[in-house]
């Protein structure tokens, strides 16, 4: 399982990130202190670090400098929004920089992007009796292959990578169809209906009022 270290001095933010990443299938450790973060990196192996900048003990910049030899991917998450702050973080070796406040779906997307860059993503995902082979783009249900269109597979994968997270219709449409969402479009709903029927996900793939859909596992 992918293991992520969350470092933020605001416990509510740590808890929010932890809850959503755990729901998406990641294993998380959260600390609120820069020195505690260094201790964790020295004791454990992580696949990714989400790192605030303004921390007690040691700043995020100091932590970044110290952990460079461990070669762990880092995403800075900070309220410091000026260009000079982002440039400094990226020059120190961070893989991405996300500004607070942020949308959880954007955070999940950035986490996935960095993990893919380092080939740290899971090769297969399992939802009940449904198995998704990401590299082969093949789906099995109860040991039997299920024929999905390219868009159906992309949509299923997006749900599977964000289990138990409510995904906005606009984000789903833009990420799967790479196009702007129109309120009267039925494309997304039709694809969701087909996934429910083909994979027996009628009770799992649920509509979220005024938001979109959520895959409940």
What 3-state class would DSSP assign to 54?
coil
Fold of 3-117: Rossmann fold (3.40.50)
Q: For residue 82, what pLDDT band results from cuts at 50, 70 and 90? A: confident
Nearest to 199 by CA among 133, 150, 153: 153
Helix (H) or strand (E) holding 127: strand 124-127
Return residue ranges of the chain for CATH 3.40.50.2300: 3-117
What confidence score (pLDDT) does residue 37 get? 96
C-beta neighbour count of 21 within 10 angstroms: 23
Task: Work out the pLDDT band at 84, boundaries 50, 70, 90.
Answer: confident
The answer to whether residue 170 scores a pLDDT higher than 70 is yes
Per-residue tokens: 79: 């309220």
CATH of domain 124-215: 1.10.10.10
pLDDT confidence tier of residue 210, bands split at 50, 70 and 90: confident
Mean pLDDT of 167-196: 84
Residue 208 three-state SS: strand
Average pLDDT over residues 191-207: 95
Domain with CATH 1.10.10.10 in the chain: 124-215
pLDDT tens, position by position, 32-65: 999 999 999 999 999 999 999 999 999 999 999 9
CA distance 117 to 83: 24
Cβ neighbourhood burial of 202 (10 Å; 0-12, 13-18, 19+): exposed
Q: Please report the pLDDT score of residue 101 as a whole number.
A: 87
More confident position, 129 or 161:
129
Please tell me which residue, 35 or 104, carries the higher pLDDT value. 35
Phi, psi of 87 (to 5 degrees): -65, -45
Q: Residues of 158-196 as b/e, b for ≥16 C-beta within 10 angstroms?
A: bbbbbbebbbbbbbbbeebbeeebeeeeeebeebbeebe
Residue with tokens 């100091």: 62
Q: What pLDDT score does 182 carry?
A: 65
Residue 80 has pLDDT above 90, yes or no: no
């Amino acid at each position: 399982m992918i293991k992520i270290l969350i470092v933020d001095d605001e416990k509510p933010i740590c808890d929010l990130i932890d809850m959503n990443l755990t729901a998406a299938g990641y294993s998380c450790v959260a600390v609120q202190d820069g020195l505690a973060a260094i201790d964790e990196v020295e004791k454990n192996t992580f696949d990714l670090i989400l790192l605030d900048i303004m921390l007690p003990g040691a700043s995020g910049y100091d932590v970044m400098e110290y952990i460079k030899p461990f070669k762990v991917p880092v995403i800075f998450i900070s309220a410091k929004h000026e260009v000079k702050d982002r440039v400094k973080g990226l020059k120190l070796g961070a893989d991405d920089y996300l500004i607070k406040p942020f949308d959880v779906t954007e955070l999940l997307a950035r986490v996935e992007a960095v993990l893919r860059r380092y080939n740290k993503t899971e090769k297969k995902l399992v939802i009940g009796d449904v198995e998704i082979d990401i590299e082969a783009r093949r789906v099995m249900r109860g040991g039997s292959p299920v024929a999905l269109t390219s868009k159906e597979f992309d949509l299923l994968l997006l749900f599977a990578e964000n289990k138990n997270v409510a995904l906005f219709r606009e984000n789903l449409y833009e990420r799967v169809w790479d196009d702007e969402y129109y309120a009267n479009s039925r494309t997304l709903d039709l694809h969701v209906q087909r996934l429910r029927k083909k994979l027996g996900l009628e009770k799992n793939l649920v509509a979220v009022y005024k938001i979109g859909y959520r895959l409940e596992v």
